[in-house]
Amino acid sequence: MAMANNKKVGVILASAVVLAVMPFLVGGALGNSWVRILDFSLLYVMLALGLNMVVGFAGLLDLGFIAFYAVGAYTYGLLCSPHFGLHLPFYIAIPIGAALAAFFGILLGTPVLRLKGDYLAIVTLGFGEIIRIFINNLNAPVNITNGPQGINLIDPIEVGGFSLGKTFELFGLSFSNVYLYYYMFLALTVGVVIMAWRLQHSRIGRAWVALREDDIAAAAMGINIRNIKLLAFALGALSGGVAGGLFSAFQGFISPESFSLIESIMILAMIVLGGMGNIPGVILGAVMLTVAPEILRATIGPLQMAVFGKTLIDPENARMLLFGLAMVVMMLVRPEGAWPSKRRRMEFQDAKKGVTHG
Amino acid sequence: MAETLLKIEGIVKRFGGLVALNNVGLTINKGEIYGLIGPNGAGKTTLFNVLTGLYMPNEGSFTFAGKDLFRAKPHVVVGTGIARTFQNIRLFAEMTALENVMVGRHIRSKAGALGAVLRTKRTREEEQAIEAKAWELLEYVGISSVADERARNLSYGHQRRLEIARALATEPTLLALDEPAAGMNPRETADLKDLMAKIRNDGVTILLIEHDVKLMMGLCDRIAVLDYGKKIAEGVPEVVRNDPKVIEAYLGVAHE
């Protein structure tokens, strides 16, 4: 027990050190644009963990998750920009965005309580699109969202009068804003990880697994199916809303384009590829799917030039082709994901052996 | 006169044009083992589902321990003190035996999302109590040796017992068992009979559906017989056994 604890502390300390120096290693070796990609991968980790609560824990297939990201992003954007002339501090705007996203989670959850599987997926997909289309069109008769033009000049996050949006000087070196945001995102990501982990290993988490495995038996064991489903939707949406607010502050500009269906699908793909229901797997999936396309973007052009002497396929197309191919191969070779939970791995092993549920 | 625990009157359950339960009424007294028998398709499981909130009856009345449970939601029914098992075992297959029983404690524990996230002292203590109670129940039904096995890997007899332990975890006053001896060998059936007697002695009333007539006659205090969605007899086993209507409907006309 003491050994296991020591090992655990060691792993945590080592990861903390690696995570703390990561942006400087990456930034020093590859430049600031890669630190920016790191920042984005943290945002996607938050999103993927949020969706994982709904899909991975409770087993409710949600294809419109990006809507909650949009709600969080637009709440921050509207409350902290010249658009309405409001400039609320982030520690008020982000919680409001998160709460509003959770409210929308319940709003989505309520009509779909009786739906499962494919039907649920279709309705949530529609919901995601409705939110995006609403945002796109809420510029007339009263201009709320500024429509397709989006919202510009959104305030960066300010901590104690110090803006994270500016370049800062340290020991005679200047660091771009992406470094400060990295630590901000990291702190909140750790918060979301702890939240997801503790929920999973609690009475609530058990009820979600029970719901996923057999909803009738879960009801017959006294679980209030309606409340436990709505809780999953609300808490998942909450994480999405936080990530949305951060995204808004980080980018300084948001428009409905950022919240299209493909984003929802990417987040779902992160969960599935990483290992549905398993928190480390989901984190791995989110980082992989954020970083891999960028690596391909950076390497495909030069690679073609080196091999063929000219660009045969447009790098942007080739990138998505390879990315798609990698996903197909992954699903064929490891359908349970890169880092599945023990429970899920066994499900897949049983499925392969043709064992049916008892 | 024994104390009435459960009372239903005039229960009607229709599925489209089919009347699955037609004006069924019965009372279960506190502390007894009450048997429900009838030919296949007589409506036994439908009645079970009505009594445990999984089906909404169309008409009738349903009171349990003085509370009105007519058309109540399953979790309300469980909270009031009725727990059940299923004819075709419905365990949480990928959870361990222990976790299955821990799910049964859900209704008797309180920790919410906030408590779980903050991991407050009360949440931690409750979680420990849940686990301790689950162990205790696994020992009670005699399967604590397989506590960490996934439910789907358990033997058939163990799965049946695990379902009973999970139901007991909700602290029921009425335990409803839907064909618990189905598919068991005589040895396992005898053990199960002992377990049911033990549960009853510990103060839990039992409602039992079973095909094994011999088991029912030896175990039940009173028996009701359903046929085509109607109750055709009710009473102590000897009387029911000799009721001509029952013999005709359920046991068939004797040839020997």
Encode chain A (358 residues) as per-residue pLDDT tens digits: 456 788 888 988 998 898 888 888 888 888 888 999 999 999 999 999 999 999 999 999 999 999 999 999 999 999 999 989 889 999 999 999 999 999 999 999 999 988 888 899 999 999 999 999 999 999 888 899 989 999 999 999 888 777 777 777 777 667 778 888 999 999 999 999 999 999 999 999 999 999 999 999 999 999 999 999 999 999 999 999 999 999 999 999 999 999 999 999 999 999 998 988 899 999 999 999 999 888 888 888 888 888 888 777 787 787 778 878 888 888 888 888 888 887 777 777 777 666 544 4
Question: Given CB atoms, is A216 within the 8 Å cutoff of chain B?
Answer: yes
User: Is B92–A209 a contact, with Cβ atoms under 8 angstroms apart?
Assistant: yes
Average pLDDT, chain B: 91
Beta bridge partners of B6: B28, B64
Which of B96, B152, B171, B178 to mutate: most A Cβ within 10 Å?
A: B152
Q: Give me the domain span that covers residue A145.
A: 22-260
The C-alpha angle B228, B177, A203, rounded to 5 degrees, equals 130
Kindly state whether residue B32 falls inside one of the protein's structural domains. yes
| Inter-chain CB proximity B90 and A220 less than 8 Å | yes
Q: Helices then strands (H, E): number in chain A? A: 13, 6
Residue B88 maps to a domain:
no
Residue B162 lies in a domain: yes
Cβ pair B75:A194 closer than 8 A: no
- Same domain for B115 and B159, yes or no, is yes
User: What is the distance of C-alpha A48 from the center of its chain?
Assistant: 4
Same domain flag for B116 and B157: yes
A357 at B interface, C-beta within 8 A = yes
> Quick check: is B203 in a domain?
yes
Closest Cα in chain B to A223 = B75
A171 or B224, which is more confident? B224
Residue B210 has a pLDDT of 85
Domain-located, residue A289:
no
A306 shares contact with chain B (CB less than 8 Å): no
* Predicted TM-score (pTM) of this structure: 0.90
In a domain, B86, yes or no: no
Average pLDDT for residues B105-115, to the nearest whole number? 90
Residues 6+ apart with CB under 8 A from A82: A153
Q: What is the mean pLDDT of residues B207-221?
A: 85
Position B251 scores a pLDDT of 61
Q: Do B95 and A204 touch (CB under 8 A)?
A: no
Same domain for B75 and B186, yes or no, is: yes
A279 phi and psi, to 5 degrees?
-60, -50
Does A199 sit within 8 Å of B113, measured CB to CB?
yes
Note down the domain range covering B12.
1-81+172-256
Nearest CB to B54; choose among A219, A222, A347: A219
Question: Angle at Cα B100 formed by Cα B94 and Cα B102, nearest 5°?
Answer: 135
* Token pair for A57: 């824990």
pLDDT at B11 over 90: yes
**For B79, nearest residue in chain A (alpha carbons):** A222
pLDDT at A358: 40
Residue A8: Cβ-neighbour burial (10 angstroms; 0-12, 13-18, 19+):
exposed
A221 touches chain B (CB under 8 A): yes
Same domain, yes or no, for B162 and B180?
no
Q: Note whether B166 and B176 are same-domain residues.
A: no
Give the one of B102, B126, B152 whose C-beta lies nearest to A358's C-beta: B152
- For residue B227, the distance in angstroms to the closest alpha carbon of chain A comes to 26
